[in-house]
Amino acid sequence: MVLGRITILVLLLGAFVPGQGQGQGQADSFSPPLASGILKSVVSLLPDWPGYGPGSNTEGKKGKPKNPEGTAVAVLPGGYLATNVHVIGRATTINIRLNDGRIMPAEIIGRDPSTDIALIKTPVDFPVPEFGPAPALGDKVCAIGNQFGLGLSVTCGVASALHRTGTGFNPIEDFIQTDAVVNPGGSGGAMIDAKGRLIGLVSAIFTKDSDANIGVNFASSLKLVMRVANDLKEFGRVQRGKPGFKVRDLSLDERLTTSGAAITFIVPEGAADSAGLQPGDVITAIGERKIYRATDVPSAAHMARPGEELKIGFLRNGKQESASLKLSP
């Protein structure tokens, strides 16, 4: 991927395959009571990838890698845990490993490739951690995951950016960016705040020519995770509405005076048409979410379900206006 003039190798943080990358130290310490509490809700995930064969996350005698590993965290009562689609990969069967070393089977409930969020079910009703509010910029956060397949560990940093989209990982993104150390195997882990409350699902890292952490890591926001997890539990797939329009990024000249995403197409008799939106309108907000670029639009619109209404803030001929848009099924 090329960002500006810098070529960056973007690696999905996938489940760790042994023999790749080198470890890196923990960024910060964390309160032991809070850490021990959240650890009861996080497990190591052992997907059975075709071609890797059964076994633990170690190399065979001839250097052939065995099953990769990742992480999962409890998000709903009844043994439901969230993880990443890329962690499960092509696996049809998976196991989980508890922090005390016990291993047990788990069931894949559903996958949502658009957000890279998956839901699994275990025979154990793990405690669901307390949910926290979205962090503020600079707030202390910690990541808990099965990094490099070594077992669960805790690393800490700060919330470096909020509502990050357009990273190239997924069609729909709502990332909390952090400098907390995260390495392969940590995908699907818990991002928590300073009070030990769950605020996101560790999902991806930016790397540059290696698997090692360079301090640009991403966790899907808890709001996005629960939007997907609840639908996967109830329907086996995510119910999405259609806003009925397409957008583009603003040109350089347009960005001299405003920010947002310009509507390029309106579906006849669709939701946007019924709401009175027009091509050329510049969307500046969806609900409480400010819109700065085109990739922000699917992220914000996805939070509502079919039939629900979204308040759209937009500019038309330089004048700020608003409309209520009801998502089509």
Catalytic residue positions? 86, 116, 187
DSSP 249-317: EPPHHHHTT--SEEEEEE-TTSHHHHHT--TT-EEEEETTEE--STTHHHHHHTTSPTT-EEEEEEEET
Q: What is the maximum span of the chain, computed from C-alpha positions, in angstroms?
A: 69
The answer to whether 184 and 65 have CB atoms below 8 angstroms apart is no
State the number of CA atoms in the 13 A half-sphere of 208 facing the CB: 8
The tokens for 209 are 């020519």
Could you tell me which of 156, 136, 133 has the C-alpha nearest to residue 144? 156
Write down the residue that tokens 């670029």 correspond to.
293
What is the CA angle 96-101-107, rounded to 5?
15
Give just the sign of the alpha carbon dihedral 83, 85, 86, 87.
positive
Task: Give the integer Cα–Cα distance in Å for 216 and 180.
Answer: 8
Q: Which amino acid, residue 314? A: F
Per DSSP, the three-state class of 212 is coil
Distance CA 207, CA 130 (A): 31
| Nearest alpha carbon to residue 69 among 82, 56, 81, 79 | 56
Amino acid at 279: P
Q: Which residues contact 87 (CB under 8 A, 6 or more apart)?
A: 14, 15, 45, 47, 68, 70, 71, 72, 118, 187, 188
| H/E run at residue 232 | helix 222-235
